[in-house]
A and B are shown apart, each in its own frame.
Chain A
């Protein structure tokens, strides 16, 4: 089946540094990938939609300058948390769809636990 690989699975960084998270579709091409943030015991909050070869679309309230998204190829999207602060600590998850329609299920990475000290 379709696999989405997300790395790293966890990362600890100091306040003020930047962290890059990678999301790869291993056996399919994904023109669109999604980035979510999940707070403890809550559902997923869509942060942005990553489009291959074009700018990402950010959800309302998400700072595009803090959460930089790059989707340079059909199998790789990256999320960079710039100048991270403790309040950015969270669980980040990416997903990608195999097909180009709403009937296609999303495949999720295993998430990245970010802790900013």
Chain B
């Protein structure tokens, strides 16, 4: 069965320090993987996507993620956190057969001044 696990329900970092949001997936097929960000009372905005090209994917706002097939992981990173990065982040997996998508439970990122 396909699933997505975001390993941390919340992460707290200081401004200017690195960010790591962890995501693991399970799949019998080659998935497409996405990270989205949601600010309060807003929809989801696409940060980046992996679709079987380069394993290191660069996204918007300085975020990037690395697809590691052997570890079935797709962790999101950013070298230096900014206050505006405080939000909810969702790891999403899609599979063949149409728009079958599975959302992770989300990780709330807190950024301290």
Q: Which residues of A are in contact with B by a Cβ distance under 8 Å?
A: 4, 6, 32, 34, 41-44, 46, 49, 91, 93, 95, 97, 101-111, 113
Cβ contact within 8 Å between B43 and A6? yes
Residues of A within 8 A of B46 (CB): 105-107
Also in contact, A44 and B94, with CB within 8 A (given A4-B43, A32-B99, A103-B51): no
CA–CA, A110 and B105, complex, Å: 19
Interface of A, secondary structure class, is: strand
- What's the nearest-Cβ distance from chain B to residue A9, in Å? 8
Of all chain B residues, the one with the shortest Cβ separation from A108 is: B43
Cβ contact within 8 Å between A102 and B100? yes
What is the total number of residues of chain B having a CB less than 8 Å from a CB of chain A? 26
Residues of A within 8 A of B105 (CB): 42-43
Interface of B, secondary structure class, is: strand
Cβ contact within 8 Å between A102 and B98? yes
CA–CA, A18 and B99, complex, Å: 29
CA–CA, A108 and B101, complex, Å: 13
CA–CA, A93 and B42, complex, Å: 9
Cβ contact within 8 Å between B99 and A102? yes
Residues of A within 8 A of B44 (CB): 44, 93, 95, 106, 108
CA–CA, A94 and B41, complex, Å: 13
Residues of B within 8 A of A111 (CB): 41-43
Cβ contact within 8 Å between A102 and B45? no
Residues of B within 8 A of A46 (CB): 101
CA–CA, A41 and B38, complex, Å: 11
Residues of A within 8 A of B95 (CB): 102
- What's the nearest-Cβ distance from chain A to residue B35, in Å? 10
- What's the nearest-Cβ distance from chain A to residue B45, in Å? 7
- What's the nearest-Cβ distance from chain B to residue A107, in Å? 7
Cβ contact within 8 Å between B45 and A105? no
Cβ contact within 8 Å between A102 and B32? yes
